[in-house]
Amino acid sequence: MKKRETLLEKFCCFLVLQQNRTEWNCDRRLRRNMESYGQIDPNVESEDYWALFFHQQYQNHGSQNHLFRGHLYAYLQEPCYWAAAEIYQKYQAKLDYQIEDYFNEGILGFEAILADFKPLFSTRFDNFANQRIKYRLIDRIRQISQAFGHNTWSLLLNSTGARLSQALRARGLVGETLENYLLAWDYYKEIYAQAKIKTDGKIQEPSPEIWQKIAAAYNSDSHSTIKISSATITRWLKDAGQAIFDYLFPQGKTISLQQPLGGEESSTREEMIEDTLHDTPWQQLEAAENFRESQQNHQKILAWLRAEISQICQQPQQAKLHPQIQLILEMTYGSGLGQVAIAAKITEITTVVIKQYQVSRELDKVYRHLAKKFLPWASENLHIPSQSHDREVISKAIEPWLTYYYQTSATTQED
């Protein structure tokens, strides 16, 4: 894929994927808006500045100006593509998915990325988005992989209530109807899990007697709003099973230039991007100052992180961490290895057996340790009141910072 070079391209052009061919399509209104900003302050050339600026304006103005949202949506096309390409390379042997399938799934996380991005705790907007999209895609693959080999009845037994609820909502079920389906599924799991019928190792449809028991349990429940027959509950659960399959294996789901950016079904992107607000030179000056302050804070955080990692690696026992935590961190964030591969590699190098779950546990302990120490440090050095950011928010930011730290350290060493 050809990379976008100029700021106009990065914040105004959208990716079109067609039959293994990629091209960039520029939005005229976004281009005009971006050009007008350049007339106000032509010396600002940093894409990091513009990403932070548009995100800040989006947070301030919200739905009043879709231009800010449109610029960010355009900017995230490239991070999403590279995340999709990376996941495709890793998992192409497992799933019959193409890069465009992963791209379409990844870009659906756009709204969550806008909501979760915190400039203070994230090094760059595009890096943050790339990481979040990869997590989304990997989680999707995990869900799909768990569904392989299941038929309707086994999939219903092995699904969670949250997944079934999402699948049914995707089909348009809401309110009382949705609750009825979920209640029926509860009794299906409770009753059929104990008496499931298997043929050649596969779970079969419940017998008529089992369906009658499920219907009787449903009808006697105080939360049931209607009395139903065993035939009705059979139909409901067949529909529920198909909904999960459709949710995990969507057919024909694409994102195009004419498709809404989520939540605005009645308008195309051309129609919804309107010149409703524009920023004054003073607002641009304020944004530039905020950007400089943010960059300075990032450097302070990076220096703090470097010192903390050094102490953790030299004295892991003080933080109650595994003696090989240095190798675990380097392999996770420097080499990008998975936890199973890390466990095998450390066992091979040190002859000390370590399991995948131990690697996962040690990484979680590192996040909690760094988050706990960050709060008082930030209060003193960044003048951030401790109560303004809870530990959960900081814990989520630790991993992108570790990724940035180890990748930039490796680049520095190569240079």
Q: Could you tell me how many helices (H) and strands (E) the chain has, helices first?
A: 19, 4
**H/E element, 199:** strand 198-199
- Tell me what pLDDT residue 249 has: 65
Q: Where are the alpha helices (DSSP H) in 254-336?
A: 269-272, 281-314, 325-329
pLDDT confidence bin for 260, thresholds 50/70/90: very low
pLDDT over threshold 90, residue 267 = no
pLDDT confidence bin for 258, thresholds 50/70/90: very low
55-59, 253-257, 340-344, 384-388, range with the lowest pLDDT:
253-257
Stronger pLDDT, 375 or 181, i.e. the higher one: 181
pLDDT over threshold 60, residue 397 = yes
Q: Is-contact 347 339, C-beta < 8 A?
A: no
How far is the C-alpha of 122 from the C-alpha of 124, rounded, in Å? 6
How far is the C-alpha of 188 from the C-alpha of 209, rounded, in Å? 13
- Tell me what pLDDT residue 268 has: 40
The highest-confidence range among 82-96, 122-136, 380-394, by mean pLDDT, is 122-136
Output the average pLDDT for the chain: 79
pLDDT confidence bin for 115, thresholds 50/70/90: confident
- Tell me what pLDDT residue 383 has: 66
Cβ neighbours around 56 below 10 Å, total = 18
- Tell me what pLDDT residue 235 has: 95
- Tell me what pLDDT residue 43 has: 56
pLDDT over threshold 70, residue 21 = yes
What's this model's pTM, rounded to 2 decimal places? 0.51
- Tell me what pLDDT residue 313 has: 92
Q: Is-contact 393 339, C-beta < 8 A?
A: no
- Tell me what pLDDT residue 280 has: 45
Stronger pLDDT, 382 or 258, i.e. the higher one: 382
How far is the C-alpha of 157 from the C-alpha of 237, rounded, in Å? 11
DSSP 3-state of 334 = helix
pLDDT digits (tens, 9 = 90+) for 297-342: 778 888 899 999 999 999 999 888 999 999 999 999 888 888 888 9
- Tell me what pLDDT residue 147 has: 65
- AA identity, residue 86: E
pLDDT over threshold 90, residue 213 = yes
pLDDT over threshold 60, residue 272 = no
How far is the C-alpha of 143 from the C-alpha of 84, rounded, in Å? 17
Distance of alpha carbon 120 from the chain centroid? 19
Cα within 13 Å of Cα(223), Cβ side: 11
pLDDT over threshold 50, residue 170 = yes
pLDDT over threshold 80, residue 348 = yes
- Tell me what pLDDT residue 240 has: 94
